[in-house]
Structure 1
């Protein structure tokens, strides 16, 4: 399968690909020779209209590296936690369902940071961490600067019985366990990057549009 990478700007997605998307009529093509992520963000963020864009290039991995070098990169990590009942842990923040995650601290490993963030944001003690699920990329403004956040997502286990405690100082108002067949509320009200994680975990039948190409 050809390499593809996605950079999200809220509800918009930029697909970096080595082949034309199958549903190309849904996408707007971007000139890969002159692409500037900061300029794109300033022009299209919050604007109505097309949600899907694509950059066609010969080497998507190298092109992504080039984009990353052109912007301030923030490294983050988080987790998809499963308890002994087979339920999945989600947080509610900024009026959307999300997964616990946060910035990796200086001198901290990715897995270490992912566990710390989950424990801080949800009030639990993680029992174990498994393989990496995927990486997601999200562009936003931080302290007036357009930045790119790369988040590393990991599978985690929880075998305890602690009471969930949302980290309110981080804007989290709720933390809940959801069974695999009962995550409709999540799918209807979450971020596109989180949908990528859910798709990798095979948590719903119909993949979101950006994943259908």
Structure 2
């Protein structure tokens, strides 16, 4: 299954015919890409299921409609298992950014977290999930973000990267994270849920 968000509205590409949500289901082969993007952008649909009989090939076909922008980021835990969040452009988020030429995704993830949060001593634990969202800048682009679970014992003051629109950086406990989720992106909830469902504790 692949889940791609357009402004927090999901396109779910699935090989399962079992109904798991209230969204309309279409056969992947019968949809016009531009039409479904338009409907989701205009909020005509709350989400859409695309049923595929050959999910890997159909996913490759789906990607031919978009320029893919690879990015990497981290869900960082401190010694109290609190999660590091950034507040950017009025929304809570996790630190992430574009992968630069010649970088591995792991190095890019660590560099972006360091730059955006002013944190160091990061230790990469394991990959978490890859998320996808479509945005529009000179055409439709797909941001493909590789997320990693990280830890840090860094104790000094955290410095938000103001020039990137980040005004706050803070570790949040579980109760505070619930508050964050009232003002965050669906992809960020996916990353957090993947961490919570994992074997890491």
TM-score (norm 1): 0.86
**Among 137, 140, 145, which residue is 2:139 paired with?**
145
Structure 2: which 5+ residue stretches go unaligned?
A: none
In the TM superposition, residue 34 of structure 1 has moved relative to its aligned partner by: 4.1
> Paired residue for 2:109?
114
Figure out how many residues of one structure are paired with residues of the other and give that number.
197
In the TM superposition, residue 17 of structure 1 has moved relative to its aligned partner by: 0.4
> Paired residue for 1:8?
5
Does the Cα contact within 8 Å between 1:72 and 1:146 map onto a contact in 2? yes
Instruction: List, as ranges, runs of 4+ consecutive aligned residues in structure 1 with deviation greater than 6 Å.
Output: none
Q: Secondary structure at the match of 1:152?
A: strand
> Paired residue for 1:188?
182
Q: How does 1:125-140 map to 2 (within 5 A)?
A: 125-140=120-135
> Paired residue for 2:59?
64
Pairwise CA RMSD of aligned residues?
1.7
> Paired residue for 1:28?
24
> Paired residue for 2:78?
83
In the TM superposition, residue 188 of structure 1 has moved relative to its aligned partner by: 1.1
Does the Cα contact within 8 Å between 1:92 and 1:175 map onto a contact in 2? yes
Aligned equivalents of 1:36, 1:102: Cα separation in 2: 30
Does the Cα contact within 8 Å between 2:39 and 2:45 map onto a contact in 1? no
